[in-house]
Amino acid sequence: MLNERMVALGTQRSVIRELFEFGKQRAAEIGAENVYDFSIGNPSVPAPDAVNETALKLIQEMNPVILHGYTSAQGDAGVRKMIADSINTRFNSSVGADNLYITVGAAAGLCCCLNGLCNPGDNVIVFAPYFPEYQVFIEGAGASMNLIPADIEAFQIDFEAFESALNADTKAVIINSPNNPSGAVYSEETIQKLAAILEDKSAEYGHPIYLITDEPYREIVFDGTVIPYIPKYYKNTLVCYSWSKSLSLPGERMGYILVPDEVEEQAQVYAAIAGAGRSLGYVNAPSLFQRVCAMCADMTADISVYETNKNLLLHGLRDMGFHVVEPGGTFYMFPRTLEADDVAFCERAKEYNLLIVPGVGFGCPGHARISFCVQTEMLKRSLDAFEKLARSYRS
Ligand code: PLP
pLDDT at 290: 98
Residue with CA closest to ligand 1 atom 5 = 180
Nearest to 115 by CA among 244, 275, 293, 263: 275
Residue 179 is predicted with a pLDDT of 98
Q: What is the pLDDT along the chain (395 residues), one digit of tens a residue?
A: 999 999 999 998 788 888 988 999 999 999 999 999 999 999 999 999 999 999 999 999 999 999 999 999 999 999 999 999 999 999 999 999 999 999 999 999 999 999 999 999 999 999 999 999 999 999 999 999 999 999 999 999 999 999 999 999 999 999 999 999 999 999 999 999 999 999 999 999 999 999 999 999 999 999 999 899 999 999 999 999 999 999 999 999 999 999 999 999 999 999 999 999 999 999 999 999 999 999 999 999 999 999 999 999 999 999 999 999 999 999 999 999 999 999 999 999 999 999 999 999 999 999 999 999 999 999 999 999 999 999 999 87
Q: Is the CB of 131 under 6 A from ligand 1?
A: yes
Predicted pLDDT at 378: 97
pLDDT of residue 395: 73
Q: Cis (ω within 30 of 0) for the bond into 358?
A: no
Is 132 near ligand 1, meaning CB less than 6 Å away?
A: no
Give residue 16's pLDDT. 86
Q: What is the pLDDT of residue 6?
A: 94
Q: Could you tell me the pTM of the whole model?
A: 0.96
Indicate if ligand 1 lies below 6 Å from the C-beta of 170.
no
180 CB near ligand 1 (under 6 Å) = yes
Q: Classify strands 36-37 and 354-355 as parallel, antiparallel or unpaired.
A: parallel
Ligand 1 atom with minimal separation from the 242 CA: 15
Ligand 1 contact, 255 CB (< 6 A)? yes
Structure confidence by residue, pLDDT tens digits, 192-203: 999 999 999 999
Longest dimension (CA), the chain: 68
Half-sphere exposure of 343 (CA within 13 A, CB side): 5
pLDDT, tens digit, for every residue of 325-351? 999 999 999 999 999 999 999 999 999
Q: Is the CB of 105 under 6 A from ligand 1?
A: yes
Query: Measuring CA to CA, which residue among 329, 315, 328, 317 is closest to residue 367?
Result: 317
At 20 the pLDDT is 85
How far away, in angstroms, is 62 Cα from ligand 1 center?
31
Residues with Cβ within 8 Å of residue 280, at least 6 apart in sequence = 108, 111, 112, 115
Which amino acid, 63? N
- Helix H or strand E segment including 354: strand 354-355
